[in-house]
Chain A
Amino acid sequence: MVESAQYLVYLLSAALFVWGLRRLGSPATARSGNALAALAMLLAVVVTLLDRGIVSWTGIAGGLLAGAIIGALLARTVKMTAMPELVGVFNGLGGGASALVASAEFFRTFQFTWEIEMIGESALLVAARAMGGGPGLGAPGAASVALGVLVGTVTLSGSFIAFGKLKGFLPGRPVVWPLQKTLNLILFLSAVGISAVLAAGAGGVIDLGAPTVLLAALAGIALLLGIFLVLPIGGADMPVVISLLNSYSGLAASAAGFVVGNPLLIIAGALVGASGLILTQLMCRAMNRSLANVAFGAFGGTGVQAGADTGDRPVRRTTPEEAALLLAYAQSVIIVPGYGLAVAQAQHEVRKLMDLLQARDVQVRFAIHPVAGRMPGHMNVLLAEADIPYDLLVDMDDANPEFPRTDVVVVVGANDVVNPVARDPGSPIAGMPILDVDRARSVVVIKRSLSPGFAGIDNPLFYNENTFMLFMDAKEAVSSLAREVKEA
């Protein structure tokens, strides 16, 4: 009776999660969608706390309080540029929590079956009821434990390596060493082997001598695997890694749901798993790479010089005064922000420039490439923070048909995503979807120098006759452009 009520509330929570995610699909309703999901979580936690199986409160209260304080502090103090790092850390913690839940339940039930055996066959049912559980985990349960520990721990260690790469205390370039793939394969196969032994032991097929050692070994292998899988991936590929780890954190929660027999964990985990997979796929498509290529390609920032032969072709330099005139007397302007803009913290200057141009009746929009930031949609958040309305932010697919009709495109701190060489089938970035800025009437590129981007290839856009190069720091350039537009 009480239990059915509990599971009905879980069902309500599951429905609210789906509804909340649906409302996250439009900027107008997104905030309420997030609030709905938070409400669903609160309901589920309260109902769980009413469970009769919970007899000891000190640890729970302390844990909840500590977690809530740390979480709130992190959420309030993080800078928007550091959002990929924070989401990475949260992914890792979620995965770690699921791994801990799976192993804790394993030890609880293992000890539990052991106690039943001591009591003897006849007392089995009575004892099982008194303890409020079933007789042991069984083989599928132990397999779920293994899966939860494996996926959760890989998420934990992988996320912290990604965090280190984003933060800069680990090298952003791909770290490679000999026999990398062989070693990973050996680690993975050992993890599968240990999982099989655990499942066979819990199913009563073999005698499980030291389950603690086995589980610790599994966690250790998973920890190494997470580190080894992310270290070889370059900094520019972090949007893919963060998305994939996001998916893993959900799948780990699902696995924990199988372990503790809670359908809400299975559902919520699957929703997150699906969300992360979709984002992973979108990011891969935006870089024209397969997931396998990201994981094993060790691409990005290796400094290979290849692609279009631009030789000693001249570039057209421009000054802020000249470029400002171009902007001030244009009818339509599209600004293409790249990560360089965020690094230079120039979002607010860009907004000022937008305001001044709008005051002169110039139509201003922003074209955003899917991998413009360090995680999916990151650039949109950075521009929203600078109070730039979201309806002026145009996705790549909608922006591309607009460029030929656009008077001036301003590229700030972006390179590979506007490199027309991607249309050349022979180039190393062939097929990568780009913003077709070279088709606009004129292009102003703000860049410190002619240095190549992450892909390490030269950009023929810079040598086009309708391209004007403004060799300056992004923030300085945009604020002088704004100053000159004001005077124009």
Chain B
Amino acid sequence: MGEWMLGLYVFVLAMLVGFEVITKVPPTLHTPLMSGANAISGITLLGALVVAGSGSGRLAVGLAIGAVVLATVNVVGGFLVTDRMLRMFRKRD
């Protein structure tokens, strides 16, 4: 089994885990869930870092540095704003 097929297995199984975990999130938390998940999608930052630091080819590195900026905005902003929202949720005293 090749690397691609293995990747596909991982992808499908991770989707199923995602469905299972997220179905249980109550509607009250859907906005923080979405912005938190959104921050997680900034994981593409890892790929951006590897290419941006590889020092191979001006075009590739330039595009990758752009990706580093966009993905970092997504990650840092996403987690911070989710925390800001969740701090406001409080139970009845």
B25 contacts A by Cβ under 8 Å: yes
Q: Chain A contact residues: over half helix, strand or loop, or mixed? A: helix
Q: Within 8 Å CB of A243, what residues of B?
A: 34
Q: B50 touching A54 by the CB < 8 A rule? A: yes
Q: Within 8 Å CB of A259, what residues of B?
A: 47
Q: A265 touching B27 by the CB < 8 A rule? A: no
Q: B51 touching A21 by the CB < 8 A rule? A: no
Known: A94-B74, A270-B11. A275 touches B49 (CB 8 A): no
When C-beta atoms are compared, the residue in chain B nearest to A243 turns out to be B34
A66 contacts B by Cβ under 8 Å: yes
The 0/1 profile, CB within 8 Å of B marked 1, for residues 236-279 of chain A is 00000011001001101110111111111111111111111111
Per the CB 8 Å criterion, the residue count for chain A at the interface is 119
Stretch at the interface among A73-81, A170-178, A423-431: A73-81
The minimal Cβ–Cβ distance linking B67 to chain A, given in whole angstroms, is 4
Give Cα A81 to B41, complex, Å: 23
Q: B54 touching A55 by the CB < 8 A rule? A: yes
A161-200 with Cβ < 8 A to chain B: none
Give Cα A67 to B3, complex, Å: 32
The 0/1 profile, CB within 8 Å of B marked 1, for residues 1-36 of chain A is 000000000000010011011101111101101110
B1-55 with Cβ < 8 A to chain A: 3-4, 7, 10-12, 14-19, 21-55
Q: Within 8 Å CB of A35, what residues of B?
A: 83
A375 contacts B by Cβ under 8 Å: yes
Q: Within 8 Å CB of B47, what residues of A?
A: 98, 101, 105, 256-257, 259-260, 262, 265
Q: A97 touching B42 by the CB < 8 A rule? A: yes
Q: Which 9 A-B pairs give the minimum distances between C-beta atoms?
A: A67-B72, A274-B18, A377-B30, A71-B77, A54-B53, A63-B68, A71-B76, A270-B14, A75-B80
Pick 7 A–B contacts, CB within 8 A, sort by A. A27-B91, A55-B55, A64-B72, A83-B35, A86-B35, A104-B67, A273-B15
